Structure 1
Amino acid sequence: MVDDLKGRILDAAVDCFLESHPGARIHAAIAERAKVSRPTVYKYVGDQDAIVMALIERDISRMHAAIEPIVTRPGTLRQRFVDTIVAVVEYARNHALLQKVLRENPISVLPWFTVHSEQVIQTGLALFTPHVKQAIADGEFPTVDPIVIVEWCCRLILSLITTPGTVRIDDSAALRRYLEDLLDVGLPR
């Protein structure tokens, strides 16, 4: 019941954020759309920053579920790494709310992916560290701290999603070539 209510509030928040102008305070609109009171929104999700973080965490979990088959499929670690990064970047590229905010008001979301990214990285660590530990156990990786590997991947993904550069992240083939070249720097084929 609590998860259903929180999910309904977060679904309403997505709709309200998509319809609102950048920087709008939308607690009342979220409450109205979710058919709950404003105090209920605060009780189950929190203030607007907490809503944003809850949406980020929920969407990271959804993204993980969508790409877990890529992470766990047979194949070389290198290929799974490239395929996973491409899938995560594509997921972000197709995420309507993230793209709206990055386009219209990037300053409002960039702190969540930069100076306040610890929560996002912690979520990534919780989801992907078990996969890296398994790859180490299977002999696909040298014995290294899996947290370092996963955090590096999270930082790479955050940078690719939020920072314009010479790599066209909207072109999966170009992104794949970039990642292959990046790996060639330190991981020979």
Structure 2
Amino acid sequence: MTERLARRTPEEFRALILDAAAECLVEGGFASGRLLSAIARKAGISRPTLYKYGGTVDDIKEALVERELSTFIARVAPVLDEIAWTPEYLTDLLVFLIDYARHHPLLRAALRDVPELILPVFTLQARAQVDLIGEFVTPLVREHITAGRIPDIDVTLLVDALYRVVIAAVIIETRQDLDDPASLRAYCRAVVSSLSTLPVPH
């Protein structure tokens, strides 16, 4: 280990390991049986150092998921701060969510390399993902409802509906070119015509 690496803090080592792991996974590591060796080599550290600060393959993957979730929350929070119950806002929100998911490097790599493992997580086992998203989104949206900025919508139903649309847009390939910004916006605008009719209690 170089002197520069030796001066790193445990947090810096963990970040270095996660950065290297993300690169390895994107490059095909999801299907690799020697992922730890590849991560250590990419990070420029020894296997013992990798184990000390990163743990096992499962530990590293779990930490990556947590980091990516935190990054997503940081990205979507400002979008939710501007929430409005209008077709324009809902279209913008849907465009953001689908574009973010479709172009997420790790998700794309997982769908490419191990679809048999990742697809059930987002479909057959989706309840856990929807509940997790709901835990984050519900308090933020309820604040806007309480403040009178949006109507008293069914937040659970909204999260469920958005999740289904986004996941379908990510894993199902049809004639709709959702990688084209104009096509994506037109698609989302059409979907919003249904989402905007979610029940609003009187």
Selected match of 1:10 from 18, 32, 39: 18
Alignment partners' CA distance in 1, 2:127 and 2:179: 26
Partner of 1:86 in structure 2?
95
Paired residue secondary structure (1:115): coil
Give 1:147 deviation, angstroms: 3.2
Q: Which deviates further from its counterpart, 153-162 or 36-45?
A: 36-45
Q: Which deviates further from its counterpart, 168-177 or 113-122?
A: 113-122
Confirm or deny: 8 A CA contact 1:12 1:34 kept in the other structure: yes
Alignment partners' CA distance in 2, 1:171 and 1:82: 15
Q: Which amino acid aligns with 2:184?
A: L
Question: Residue 129 and residue 75 in structure 1: after superposition, are their counterparts in 2 closer, same or farther (change >3 A)?
Answer: closer
Segments of structure 2 that go 5 or more residues without pairing to the other structure are 1-8, 198-202
Give 1:124 deviation, angstroms: 2.1
Alignment partners' CA distance in 2, 1:33 and 1:169: 33
Confirm or deny: 8 A CA contact 1:57 1:123 kept in the other structure: no
Residue correspondences, number = 187
**What does the per-residue CA deviation read over 1:25-76, in whole Å, with 9 as the maximum and x for residues that have no partner?**
2022223433555566566555444533432332232133223332222654
Selected match of 1:51 from 54, 60, 66: 60
Give 1:129 deviation, angstroms: 1.9
Segments of structure 1 that go 5 or more residues without pairing to the other structure are none
| TM-score between the two structures when normalised by the length of structure 1 | 0.76
Q: Which amino acid aligns with 1:113?
A: F
Confirm or deny: 8 A CA contact 2:26 2:106 kept in the other structure: yes
Alignment partners' CA distance in 2, 1:81 and 1:44: 42
| TM-score between the two structures when normalised by the length of structure 2 | 0.72
Confirm or deny: 8 A CA contact 1:60 1:123 kept in the other structure: no
Question: Highest Rg: 1 or 2?
Answer: 2
Confirm or deny: 8 A CA contact 1:63 1:88 kept in the other structure: no
Alignment partners' CA distance in 2, 1:59 and 1:29: 20
| CA root-mean-square deviation | 3.0
Higher RCO, 1 vs 2 (CA within 8 Å, ≥6 residues apart): 2
Q: Does 1:142 align with 2:152?
A: yes
The aligned runs of 1:74-153 (5 Å cut-off) are 75-139=84-148, 140-144=150-154, 146-153=155-162
Question: Residue 21 and residue 57 in structure 1: after superposition, are their counterparts in 2 closer, same or farther (change >3 A)?
Answer: closer
Question: Residue 42 and residue 21 in structure 1: after superposition, are their counterparts in 2 closer, same or farther (change >3 A)?
Answer: closer
Q: Which amino acid aligns with 2:13?
A: L
Give 1:135 deviation, angstroms: 2.9
Structure 1 segments, 4+ long, off by >6 Å, are none
Partner of 2:196 in structure 1?
187
Q: Does 1:24 align with 2:28?
A: no
Question: Residue 38 and residue 64 in structure 1: after superposition, are their counterparts in 2 closer, same or farther (change >3 A)?
Answer: same
Confirm or deny: 8 A CA contact 1:27 1:48 kept in the other structure: yes
